Amino acid sequence: MEKFCIIGYPVSHSASPKIYNEYFKRINYDGFYGMEEIAPENFENRIDHIFEHYDGFNVTIPHKERVIPHLKMIEEGARIVGAINCVVSKNRKGCNTDWMGFVRSFPKTDWNGIIVLGAGGTARAVIYGLRKIGVSRITLLNRTYTKALSLKKWADSFGMEITAKPLDTLKQVLKYGKILINTTSVGMRGEKFDLSMKDLENLNLIYDVIYFKTPLQEMGKAMGIKVVDGKEMLYNQAVENLKIWDVPLVESLFREIFNDVMGKMRS
Ligand code: NAP
């Protein structure tokens, strides 16, 4: 049997075991996907056990960086983003499927006028993904301005030119932007950006990494703007995990199971 799991702290909220186990069952694959909650203080004691007992695993908060010294190979994107979320145990290879999932889910449109909100781990995956598809200039806004400046410096190293601004300039910046990408956690608990419909009227696309409905997504939809929510990035990073682990991929079935499980969660 092929064994996989997700490691993190906490992980009990994760939909991954339900999605993968149902998928394995439906394609008659001899596989199992479990959950390993590892508190930060136990990480060094437990990580070798994870490599020994699982063929592959996903890594979530707070271990995405801590796993790096335990790897022998790191995929280029994961190295640049500085975070691992998918590991193959036999060769100790680490990948970042967040950026891959972003690339697979980002609509093919005119990519001029991209505004990215946030400067955390997800922002890095998204910015790297944007560069991979050929975008070379974006405006980045973050609540903590110094973090936006750090990302500007980081992105220079792979040819992405960032204009960094504090988040409170968003209304002005939106006058010139066409695509708004939210990589912050704002909206996860219904929080709102300080924006009215008028502020969004220039936009063609809102891409929000939050899996569930947010006020920003709702406002965009009400205005007839194309809105892509975080379920698309999540689904597509899961597809990339299956490929990396060499699990047979039947995309239509995997999509059906993903939609079914996610639909039963908060939406
Ligand atoms: P992170 O590294 O902690 O970064 C959080 C970001 O959100 C920072 O830029 C932070 O700004 C900003 N922020 C938080 N609260 C804010 C507020 N009240 N007002 C303005 N800005 C605020 O987190 P992360 O790992 O990047 O994750 C961000 C979100 O992405 C989470 O909701 C996560 O669930 C989601 N995510 C989705 C996917 C997917 O597949 N769809 C994948 C990964 C993550 P400061 O720098 O000022 O603190």
Element (H, E) at 5: strand 2-8
Which residue lies with its CA nearest to atom 3 of ligand 1?
120
Residues 25 and 67 in one domain: yes
Which residue lies with its CA nearest to atom 11 of ligand 1?
143
pLDDT string in tens for the chain (267-residue length): 999 999 999 999 899 999 999 999 999 999 999 999 999 999 999 999 999 999 999 999 999 999 999 999 999 999 999 999 999 999 999 999 999 999 999 999 999 999 999 999 999 999 999 999 999 999 999 999 999 999 999 999 999 999 999 999 999 999 999 999 999 999 999 999 999 999 999 999 999 999 999 999 999 999 999 999 999 999 999 999 999 999 999 999 999 999 999 998 864
Residues 225 and 110 in one domain: yes
Bond before 62 cis per omega within 30 degrees: yes
Residues 138 and 149 in one domain: yes
Q: Which of 144, 150, 151, 185 to mutate to test the pocket of ligand 1 (most atoms within 8 A of CB)?
A: 185
Query: The pTM is what?
Result: 0.96
Q: Pick from 161, 154, 164, 182: which is nearest to 81 by CA?
A: 154
Residues 82 and 180 in one domain: no
Residues 164 and 212 in one domain: yes
Which domain, by its residues, includes 17? 2-95+232-266
| Secondary structure letter of residue 143 according to DSSP | S
The closest-lying atom of ligand 1 relative to the alpha carbon of residue 147 is 46
Query: What would the 3-class secondary structure string for 168-202 be?
Result: HHHHHHCCCCCEEEECCCCCCCCCCCCCCHHHHCC
How far apart are the C-alpha atoms of 17 and 238, rounded to whole Å? 11
Domains in the chain, number: 2
192 tagged catalytic: no
Q: Is 129 in the pocket of ligand 1 (CB under 6 A)?
A: no
Residues 89 and 151 in one domain: no
- In the block, tokens 């906490």 appear at 10
Q: At what angle do helices 16-26 and 251-264 cross, to 10 degrees?
A: 140
